[in-house]
Amino acid sequence: NAMDSKLNHNKRILVKCGGFSSQLAKNVTEKVDGDPLWGSRFDATNPQAVIQTHLDFLRSGADIILTNTYQSSVEGFVEHLGVSRERGLELIEKSVHLAQEAKRQHLKENNVTSTSNLPLILGSIGPYGAYLNDGSEYSGNYADTFTKDQLKEWHRTRMEVCVAAGVDGLALETLPCQLEAEAVTELVLDSFEGTNFWVSFQCQDELRLASGESFAQAALSVWRLVKQRKAEHRLLGIGVNCVNPNFVSSLLTSVVEAVGGSDHIPFVVYSNRGEIYDVEKEEWTGTGEEVAKFVPQWIKLGARIVGGCCRVYPSDVLEIRKYVDGLCIDP
């Protein structure tokens, strides 16, 4: 029965890769953290290391990989690589092609000829704050100086290139404030019909976005935009990323309580290890948590996509994979 299989498919928990740039740092000799282009520089300078990094996660059981475009923008490439605008656009496209090449190699290694759409490749659409390279995606302090339309215009180019290059969807991620989340959600809903997506926030504690706004209210605002356009089938999830794993259950619970009983919002969660990024030293400080141990609780609360962000490595993804494989969700 097609409907049954669709329902079963919807119940399936998908495992996202871990922190791309954290693993990339193990595959290159240069420093990655602190670079104004972060991992994005390596699409140009070391594409083989980018493919290898994707493969490291795919071989550990990731169902979803993200393009290395979190900190990519034409402006950033022009400014920091000294390339033309056209070359900047090509580099964003190349990032998608490198992820596609890793997927091709991975399927070949496993002799998979099936038409399964897994693993999925999502275009990583990081916030405007990432381009500023001053840590402002952890404060959202630019929300007061921009209009929603300006943010849409800035985001449009990278989204267009990723979609044209054939991604399976867009990961609108590490969003520090409600305004930017609404901007990218409206943009993908109205200008990229048919493109699936998730919307993921950066949060500073158990209740609030990086900007200090309510996570529950921001998540509900995104959910309403999706429902208004009857686009629930395109939404992969609403959630949090690069957030302390100890905050996640409270954050998700705050949304469940705000929504009430009628709606079930699918959640996406990919936390960091709970360490702190020191902007001055350009490195992560503190001791981290094992992300996999939090996953059962997140799934109970409605997470449908789980994985890691900064400092979460293929070994962690493998632990998450093992846990998810042990769930008897599919009959």
Give the integer Cα–Cα distance in Å for 192 and 159: 9
> For helices 85-109 and 148-164, what crossing angle results, to 10°?
50
Per-residue pLDDT band at 278 (split at 50, 70, 90): confident
Report whether pLDDT(142) > 90: no
pLDDT tens sequence across 92-134? 999 999 999 999 999 999 988 766 789 999 999 999 988 887 8
Return the DSSP state at 276. E
The SS3 of residue 36 is: coil
To which H or E segment does residue 65 belong? strand 64-66
pLDDT confidence bin for 183, thresholds 50/70/90 = very high
CB 99 within 8 A of CB 126: no
Helix (H, G, I), strand (E, B), or coil: what is residue 172? strand
Please report where in the chains the tokens 């953290």 appear, as a residue. 33
168 is written with which tokens?
């399976």
Answer yes or no: are the C-beta atoms of 189 and 257 closer than 8 Å: no
Q: Strands 276-278, 283-285: parallel, antiparallel or unpaired by DSSP?
A: antiparallel
CA atoms of 273 and 291, how far apart (whole Å): 6
CB atoms < 10 A from the CB of 117, how many? 9
Predicted pLDDT at 178: 97
The stretch 220-244 carries a mean pLDDT of 97
Question: What φ, ψ does residue 111 adopt, rounded to 5°?
Answer: 50, 40
